[in-house]
A and B are shown apart, each in its own frame.
Chain A
């Protein structure tokens, strides 16, 4: 893409909140109820919600494997979330099993958002499904989508729709063309009205190296069912709208604890496929020690596969900023941050302390020498960063 996160950083603020918010609200806030109440003909609501979803049958063809293969990669590009444009953004998609590929955006203080794709079974057919969700401000949400459309006439296009309510509730569309990816998410209001576009990611694959390694480790891709939706999902746990009807295959729970137990939160939601069911992924806990005068300063945390700074803490290469895979922003004085659903591998941890509190990386901000760590599969790693002191 030419430009790096560093050079674009000034424009990047609050990515995660708006990225996550539409999905979260679509499942649990008043707006959804109001939207559906706007239907001209009340009878139409049932039609909208219960329109039959026909999954794409991937038995005996290569549709599923081709999709999984194409999804691999460190994708760098631009993202628009509702009306906010982010000129640098990244998704890191790597296999975590023979038929499951995963990517997560860690936003930092406001929460995270993952979307994974896997082979499953839906209405008796072997198909691809997507699991999308995360935790935002104490709200745990997971939604399930099923692939209902494929078109390879101009690039390779795939659509995943809400596994309960179909395209009228939520959908995810992806289109691959060479190394380019369009990755869009929508929620829709009325049956005959255009879906509202919430996220539009336009990017290209920076590298396949990390994903290829994970593929090798997981014997990926294979045409096997990763997790059986129809056998495991319990519709009684679908989160209802405020009018009492169930419109979406979404699971919700809530906590006021900031130091919550993710597994417990998942279990409380009724989510049938939770983090502890996911193989290969790891957890990284980063502890930050900083001078008392900077206790409230924002910290831009970075995980990258090349060091951002040299041994003295000085930025060494602007190009290395395009090796960042996770970039949470810790804005409420946290001194501990957990990367969940983290791909195992070798990372460099670089913390940038916003010394002048201007909300972005700028001259004089304090940085640590990038710290190399190795995260083994299915491990919990703790690392402490206690030298965020080099002014850049």
Chain B
């Protein structure tokens, strides 16, 4: 009887381990990123709420517009992104309704510490490289 119970516990433990290892890791959740070029610099945090992923502005400075969290102001670079099976974030609108053949927003890993962020602005693609600020998980 004791052995049966022990076996049962082991099975539960094994099942838990298997489930955990099979669970899809969200590589984007609560990650912080920095972008800097001649014209601007910014820090963004990727957050997930109710299956929607937002990119919050932590700091932003393009020479005229400056944003930080010091005054409690919350601004988003992108809102309502969805994650594809390929660990890519796209904007929810085009991803769900197929308004366009090309995603308006696309965020993908090119390295654990580097994101390629592509945004379609008036049919022209703007690309940025974001470098991870927090430690690699």
Give residues of chain A (159-195) contacting chain B, Cβ–Cβ below 8 Å.
159, 173-175, 182, 184, 186, 190, 192-195
Cβ-based interface call for B127 (8 A): yes
B7-15, B25-33, B117-125, B129-137: which lies at the A interface?
A: B117-125
Q: Contacts A85-B38, A194-B57, A202-B38 known; A34 to B99 CB distance under 8 Å?
A: yes
Q: Nearest chain B CB to A116's CB is how many angstroms away?
A: 19
Chain B residue nearest in CB terms to A192 = B76
Q: Which of A26, A31, A80, A194 contacts B77 (CB 8 A)?
A: A194
A194 touching B76, Cβ below 8 Å: yes
Cβ-based interface call for A200 (8 A): yes
Residues of A within 8 A of B99 (CB): 34
A200 touching B63, Cβ below 8 Å: yes
Q: Contacts A192-B76, A193-B76, A200-B40 known; A175 to B123 CB distance under 8 Å?
A: no
Q: Contacts A22-B122, A202-B38 known; A193 to B78 CB distance under 8 Å?
A: yes
Q: Contacts A193-B79, A194-B57 known; A200 to B122 CB distance under 8 Å?
A: no
For the complex, give the distance between the alpha carbons of A157 and B40 in Å. Answer: 16
Cβ-based interface call for A38 (8 A): yes
Cβ-based interface call for B126 (8 A): yes
User: By the criterion of a CB under 8 Å from any partner CB, how many residues of chain A are at the interface?
Assistant: 33
For the complex, give the distance between the alpha carbons of A197 and B76 in Å. Answer: 14
Chain B residue nearest in CB terms to A173 = B64
Q: Nearest chain A CB to B43's CB is how many angstroms away?
A: 13
Q: Contacts A182-B63, A184-B65 known; A82 to B122 CB distance under 8 Å?
A: yes
Residues of A within 8 A of B122 (CB): 21-22, 25-26, 29, 31, 82
Residues of A within 8 A of B93 (CB): 38
Give residues of chain A (85-112) contacting chain B, Cβ–Cβ below 8 Å.
85
Q: Nearest chain A CB to B55's CB is how many angstroms away?
A: 9
Residues of B within 8 A of A200 (CB): 39-40, 62-63
Residues of A within 8 A of B36 (CB): none
Q: Nearest chain A CB to B92's CB is how many angstroms away?
A: 9
Cβ-based interface call for A373 (8 A): no
Residues of A within 8 A of B63 (CB): 175, 182, 184, 200, 202
Residues of A within 8 A of B40 (CB): 197, 200
Q: Which of B38, B62, B119 contacts A78 (CB 8 A)?
A: B38
Residues of A within 8 A of B78 (CB): 193
Residues of B within 8 A of A186 (CB): 65
Cβ-based interface call for B80 (8 A): yes
A40 touching B121, Cβ below 8 Å: no
Cβ-based interface call for A386 (8 A): no
Cβ-based interface call for A83 (8 A): yes
For the complex, give the distance between the alpha carbons of A25 and B63 in Å. Answer: 25
Residues of A within 8 A of B125 (CB): 83
B77 touching A198, Cβ below 8 Å: no
Q: Which of B62, B79, B127 contacts A197 (CB 8 A)?
A: B62
Residues of A within 8 A of B126 (CB): 82-83
For the complex, give the distance between the alpha carbons of A193 and B121 in Å. Answer: 14
B64 touching A83, Cβ below 8 Å: no
Residues of B within 8 A of A38 (CB): 93
Chain B residue nearest in CB terms to A31 = B122
Cβ-based interface call for A376 (8 A): no
Q: Which of B75, B80, B127 contacts A83 (CB 8 A)?
A: B127
Highest count of chain B CB atoms <10 Å: which of A34, A175, A194, A197: A194
Q: Which of A29, A34, A175, A194 contacts B75 (CB 8 A)?
A: A194
Known: A85-B38, A193-B76, A193-B79. 16 other contacts (CB 8 A): A26-B122, A31-B122, A78-B38, A78-B39, A80-B39, A82-B124, A83-B121, A182-B63, A182-B64, A184-B62, A184-B64, A184-B65, A193-B75, A193-B78, A194-B67, A202-B63
What 6 pairs between A and B have smallest CB-CB spacing?
A182-B63, A173-B64, A83-B126, A200-B39, A175-B64, A80-B39
